[in-house]
Amino acid sequence: MKVLYVVGSCLSKNTSANMSHNGYVQGLLENGCQVDILMAKTSWGQTDRLLPQWHQARYYCYASEALHDRIRKRVGRSVVHAPVVNKDVPTRDASTSSIMRSNLRGYLKKAYYLLFPADPIYPLEKRWLKSASEFRSDMEYDLVVSNSSPAASHKLVDILAHRGHLKYKRWIQIWEDPWYFDLYGRQKKEIFDEEASLLTAADEVYYVSPLTLLYQQRYFKDNAYKMKQIPLPYLSFSSGTEAIREDISFAYLGDYYSHVRNLMPFYLALSQTRFCGYIYGDSDVVLEGTDKIEVSGRVTLDRLASVQEKSSVLVQLCNLRGGQIPGKIYHYSATRKPILFILDGTSEEKEQIEKYFRKFNRYYFCDNNVQSIISAINRINVDIVHGERWYPVTAFSPKNVVTQML
């Protein structure tokens, strides 16, 4: 089967989305597909040597962000959310100079947007859409798979098809996150219209969360019949070591911006136990490392793999709202370690997410409050002491996930 995989990011960059993108490519290759990859030459994130280069695939890379787009993204990330200080948590002092720098960045951001107004729909992918639209193939692909984020991945396929640059028998869109009804609230009406148009053009549409699927079928009723759910494929860098049974430790490995997810209850809960922990990820919440809890920003994948290897338990934290599921739960599921699964959101969201994952008999569920988390930590400790074993969830392997699409 000849497959074109389209994504508006650079697959060698260290982001959660790119780990999943590489998982899909791995699954296509393991299913015997002939794979071409149409992607961006560069994108946000640091190049990471642990992300694979698929020598069996052909790459078509096109220029992406213009210089002012890079500045816009850097400025936007630096000032969107102010630090959150919780009186119950020891934090670094917010100095006068840091506040002044934050205010200055805010003024610069406003001035910048006046000088360089963003595209209302594809603010950071405009250049990539223009350059990648020059792609042309005489081959008729059996399958085209476009994957967002970004949503520009789907737009490019639509452009190429209308220009006659791309021929295919079947087009699958994978939406790891919805667009209009996303985690941060409803977007502009133009986004809704654009998303509806893209969904209409696809033959099949996949979402990675059962709850997101339910929401999207409600919002886009005309396209509900073609929508399905599929898990994210994991991309594992772990050797598969089991839980460390002495000096038990817990690791949260991912970003935790306060408008997305609330890590504070876990931090407080772990502080009240005798166990150690690692918190690695970027955030606007300034957590102080202690003699029991090591706190760090983003690190390379090999460093992250090292922390994961020496940890006893991996920690999954759900988002504050919406049906999206953080991708790390799928990558955690490739390991032989117990997973603390902290639920958050509305009652419906928590119920549906737990219902989906409980069938794999792999996770320890709790609500996102201190007492519920401490209770789950103690349950895990008892099972570790008693010699419980945990195994990878094979349903999330790249080959098995992609088989569902093919």
Could you tell me if residue 404 is inside a domain? no
My answer on whether 196 and 53 are in the same domain is yes
My answer on whether 306 and 185 are in the same domain is no
User: Parallel, antiparallel, or unpaired: how do β-strands 185-186 and 181-182 relate?
Assistant: antiparallel
Q: Which residues form the domain of 90?
A: 67-115
Could you tell me if residue 306 is inside a domain? yes
My answer on whether 99 and 140 are in the same domain is no
My answer on whether 77 and 34 are in the same domain is no
Could you tell me if residue 87 is inside a domain? yes
My answer on whether 25 and 78 are in the same domain is no
Question: Is residue 375 within a helix (H) or strand (E), and if so which, with residue range?
Answer: helix 370-385
My answer on whether 134 and 27 are in the same domain is yes
Q: How many domains does the chain have?
A: 3
Please give the pLDDT value at position 322: 75
Please give the pLDDT value at position 79: 37
Count, residues in the chain: 406
Q: In the listed set 234, 265, 288, which residue is the last one of a domain according to the structure?
A: 234
My answer on whether 57 and 197 are in the same domain is yes
The mean pLDDT of the chain is: 85
Indicate whether this model's pTM tops 0.85.
no
Q: Which of 53-67, 180-194, 384-398 shows the highest mean pLDDT?
A: 384-398
Could you tell me if residue 401 is inside a domain? no
My answer on whether 20 and 55 are in the same domain is yes
My answer on whether 162 and 185 are in the same domain is yes
- pLDDT tens, residue by residue, 112-156: 555 555 667 887 788 899 999 999 999 999 999 999 878 999 999
My answer on whether 171 and 26 are in the same domain is yes
My answer on whether 169 and 296 are in the same domain is no
- pLDDT tens, residue by residue, 278-334: 999 999 988 989 999 999 998 888 888 889 988 999 999 999 987 788 888 999 999
Q: Which strands form 313-317's sheet, in the order they lie side by side?
A: 293-296, 276-280, 249-253, 313-317, 339-343, 363-367
Could you tell me if residue 244 is inside a domain? no
Contacts 24+ apart (CB under 8 A), 264-267: 264/86, 264/88, 264/89, 265/342, 265/368, 265/369, 265/370, 265/373, 266/315, 266/317, 266/342, 266/368, 266/373, 267/89, 267/293
Number of helices (H), then strands (E), belonging to the chain: the values are 13, 17
